[in-house]
Structure 1
Amino acid sequence: MSLMNKRKVIQVFEYQKLLFEEDGTFESRHWKALSLYNEKYGNKYFTLLHNGIKFSNYVGVIQAGNLTIEILPKIDREKLDSREEKARWHNILLQMLRECRLIKVDHMENANLQLKSNSILDIYIAMFLQEVEGLLRRGLIKKYQKHTANLTTLKGKLEFGKHITANLIHKERFFVQHSIYDNKNLFNQIISEALRIIPFLISNTSLNDKLGRIMLDFPELSRLKIASTTFEKIQYDRKCMHYKPALDIAKMLLLSYRPDITGGSNSVIAILFDMNELWEEYIFRKLQHLNEDGVEIKRQQSQHFWQGSSTLYPKSVRPDIVIRKGNQTTILDTKWKLIPDYKPTDEDLKQMFVYNLYWKCNHSILLYPAVQYHLETGTYFSFSQQEIATNNCSVATCNILDQNNELDSGIGQRILHQILFLSNK
């Protein structure tokens, strides 16, 4: 059953509270459905309150029954209820997802205004349906399947044991195993299962029409029980690589979908992103796209730092981004959180000291989001005495928005310029 005509949408910001007595849109039944979903994933997406929920550092969309909750990032805690602010950060989140290749560029550019104003879930469904349309135009993959049957003609390999047992009286039949070349394969079955749940998720009329056309053309296939291990069985080659975009989205939809097992209409699906990981990925890509001569930018390089006598694997440390120019190495660690008075935590500073030590670099930078740019450099003391060593860590904040309050396209250039300046001091 499609819930198009009953859909309600709420936009909130990360770490904001949503209470179900405020306007009646968020109800206790939604709370119950979300609590079960959150428990399934280790209670990491939000914190349950007795009369609502408090969101964490995950952004994206959660849909519970007829309610869609869009969780937006925010670097300024003012104007949280402003419709203009929510619209701005909705678009900023979409642009960050596009930059990190979590939404394809052509889907963003071709999305109509009505679709762009709706939830992130609608955009992913639109991406999926467009990919499936492309598969249908190209022709669905067919594979040979082994099939066992009791036929009136000898076809394929005769199964002697089963043939004698089944056809002792029916001499005119043959129990055989033969191959059938058809659409029934893992690739198409996964696509089919994703198409089956979309009617429960759609809140856009044009998407519903497109889904109807696709369902008319897509073959009826036997049901497939989906688990995370299902996707581990997929093996791509040059003949089926074009399926990957559709299967990636199908995986996202199917593994994050929790049907209402009571038979009600409170199924839950969530497409959520850890804002710390998204921030790191975004900054890395902005730096990498610069292609600065003589500058090498790598991410998440690990080094071992501890091995227990009874442990199988050593413990490792792994900074977000490592930047090298000549014989100078700088560690950049991104943190998506607001720091009061530009003062980092002891834990963050100790972490950067370890990075400096293991990567043999004299300078590291903690990068936080903020409304204003700020840079402050501190120096670590030496091991032996209370004297200053040549081991530094800078605390930097940067605004991801430009003067027009749009996503700043030049943020990578500014950050790299500051890094190279500090490394040469």
Structure 2
Amino acid sequence: MNLVTVREHARLTTGPVPAGSLDVASIPPSVFDWLCREAQRHRSGGAALVQVEDRRWLRLDNYVGVLESPCGTRIEILPKHVRGEAGVAEARRVLVHMLRHSLRLPVRDSGPTALQTFDGPVSEWIIQQFLAELDGLVRRGLRFDYRLVEEEVRFLRGRLRVGQQVRQPAGRQHLFQVEHQVFDTNRPENKLIATALRKVAGLTREPGNWRLAHELEHQLAAIDSSADIPGDLRRWSTDRLMARYAAIRPWCELILGNRNPLSALGDWTGRSLLFPMERVFERYVEVCLRRGLPAGATLKTQAASRYLARQDGRRLFQLRPDFLIEYDGRTYVVDAKWKLLDEADAARNYGLSQSDFYQLFAYGRRYLGGAGQLVLVFPRCDTFGKALARFDLEDGLWLDAVPMDLQSGCLPGGVFPFNPEGAVAPGGH
């Protein structure tokens, strides 16, 4: 198997390229053509997977994760969290850390040592965590349950289905139409787990994962695959007797594609697993902000109660800030942007976008009444380590552009009056 590791917005070509760079890579012509076709398919669904620069180059968009072509070439796309070159291991740790908190995944062995010793694409890490949870669940024992079975047998068993029996044709009157209860492991939760296991057993390329997946597959061979994944997820029991199943459910949802990349996070299509980095960062910021809120404060996501304009009683252009924080009678508008700034480049406005300021100004007018605090949160990087000087939008409205540390989830102290020490993410310092 050929593994190509790059970062967001990397350029791909079929010709020779310098070795050791995460921003440019060479791929086989068959993969190049396949990516062109995939780009067209994703574009029709509203997502830009790659951009065709000319006949020789492709530029990746802001998705991270794993792409695997039909010929077996695997392209690992890592986040671009620093301007300069970054090590593969460091970028993987950043991505895994953000995913586990963004998706609220119950991770086993999540300490620094476990992340440093893991050396594989994020898809293999997800498979590893799922298999570890399943292995522990199997060792403790799967839950059995009664299920109704309707069948045609040669002997009377359970309850006779009288209506079906009297309609038996003359040549089959010696057979009984019965229904009875069977106590086995074919309950909705186990069916979903078995379906996810059979999927990852065919996806994994890591020897340890492959071996454990096939061992567990043998132990779960008697369990049927789910024929109705959404329905079985709705039937997943959350009572006290099923408490030990709670940790494996998020992994099943992720592996079985219950989360769409355009509306939520993650979709395992074929052998490819992609996450939109903007949404990952947005969800990560949400988790960090919630952990740092004081008692009595509330955080609303994707508020949609205000519009930019009205016409003949009709409201136009809905305004949807990422977060609204309400505390002590005041409201704060917060937006997360996955973009690297340069605090030393004042001549180019530090890399800030004029359209972002227009957007935040509109939020301030409609949600804050034209006076209050707006906050733009960007990832902290080697060129952006402290908050920029405050931007005065006049009439009592101001905007702060601040960095968030991707490892600890901290914002600089003093961003909000109610949190002088900065927000801290789960597992942060």
Q: Which moved more, 1:114-123 or 1:241-250?
A: 241-250
Q: Does the CA contact (< 8 Å) of 1:156 and 1:177 recur in 2?
A: yes
The aligned residue for residue 62 of structure 1 is 67
Alpha-carbon offset, residue 114 of structure 1:
8.2
2:13 and 2:26 in contact (8 A); partners too:
no
Matched, 1:375 2:381: no
Q: How does 1:29-178 map to 2 (within 5 A)?
A: 29-35=30-36, 37-41=38-42, 42=45, 44=47, 46-49=49-52, 50-51=55-56, 53-65=58-70, 66-79=72-85, 85-109=87-111, 112=114, 116-166=118-168, 168-169=170-171, 172-178=174-180
Match of 1:404 in 2: none
1:337 to 336, 339, 351: 339
- Answer whether contact 1:47 1:56 (CA < 8 A) is retained: yes
Uncovered stretches (5+) of structure 1, i.e. residues with no partner: 1-6, 258-266, 381-387, 401-406
Offset at residue 120 of structure 1 (A): 0.8
Letter in 1 for 2:4: I
Deviation at 1:364, TM superposition (A): 0.9
Aligned residue number for residue 359 of structure 2:
351
> For the residues of structure 1 that align with 2:410 and 2:115, how far apart are their CA atoms?
27
Paired position in structure 2 for 1:20:
14
Identity across matched positions, percent: 22
3-state secondary structure, aligned to 1:108: coil
Q: CA deviation at 1:353?
A: 1.9
CA distance in 2, matches of 1:25, 1:231: 43
Q: Which runs of 5+ in 2 are unaligned?
A: 18-24, 260-268, 342-347, 421-429
1:139 is displaced (CA, Å) by 2.8
Partner SS for 2:389: strand
Q: Structure 1 CA distance, aligned partners of 2:238 and 2:418?
A: 46
Query: Structure 2: how far apart are the matches of 1:249 and 1:45?
Result: 26
The 1:294/1:170 distance shift into structure 2, 3 A limit, reads: closer
| CA deviation map 1:58-112 (0-9, x unaligned) | 2222233433222122243333xxxx53332222222222343544343423975
Residue in 1 that maps onto 2:399: 393
Cross-structure match for 1:366: 376
Alpha-carbon contact 2:154-2:174 (below 8 Å) kept? yes
Residues in 2 aligned to 1:102 and 1:295: alpha-carbon distance in whole angstroms: 21
Question: Among residues 279, 282, 296, which one is paired with 1:280 in the alignment?
Answer: 282
Q: Distance in 2 between matches of 1:86 and 1:142?
A: 44
**Structural RMSD (CA):** 3.6
State whether structure 2 residue 415 is matched by structure 1 residue 418.
Answer: yes
Distance between the aligned counterparts of 1:315 and 1:181, measured in 2?
Answer: 56
Distance 2:238 2:105 in 1: 23
State the secondary structure of the residue aligned to 2:111. helix
Matched residue type, 1:58: Y
Quick check: 1:379–1:393 contact (8 Å CA) kept in 2?
A: yes
1:409 aligns with 2:412: no
Residue 365 of structure 1: SS of its match in structure 2? Answer: strand
Structure 2 distance, partners of 1:158, 1:111, is 61
Q: What is the rounded CA distance, in whole Å, between the counterparts of 2:304 and 2:169 in structure 1?
A: 65
Distance of aligned partners of 1:334 and 1:399 in 2 relative to their CA distance in 1, 3 Å threshold: closer
Are residues 410 and 209 of structure 1, via their aligned partners in 2, closer, same or farther at CA, if it must alter by over 3 Å? closer
Deviation at 1:173, TM superposition (A): 3.4
- Cα 1:153–1:296 change in 2 (3 A) is closer
- C-alpha displacement of 1:129: 0.9
Q: Distance in 1 between matches of 2:183 and 2:282?
A: 46
Separation (CA, whole Å) in 2 of partners of 1:52 and 1:142: 55
Q: Is the 8 A contact 2:165 2:177 kept in 1?
A: yes
**TM-score (norm. length: structure 1):** 0.76
SS at 1:177's partner residue?
strand
Measured at CA, do residues 173 and 53 of structure 1 come closer, stay the same or move farther in structure 2, by a change above 3 Å? same
Aligned partner letter, 1:275: M
Q: Is the 8 A contact 2:294 2:419 kept in 1?
A: no
The size of the alignment, in residue pairs, is: 386
Secondary structure class of the residue paired with 1:376: coil
Does structure 1 conserve the Cα–Cα contact (< 8 Å) formed by 2:148 and 2:181? yes
Distance 2:33 2:222 in 1: 35
Distance 2:338 2:206 in 1: 32
> Residue 398 of structure 2 aligns to a residue in which SS?
strand
1:9 shift after superposition: 2.1
Shift of 1:121: 0.9
The SS at the match of 2:190 is helix
Structure number with the bigger relative contact order (C-alpha 8 A, sep ≥ 6) is 1
**Alignment partners' CA distance in 2, 1:222 and 1:86:** 39
AA partner of residue 282 (structure 1): Y
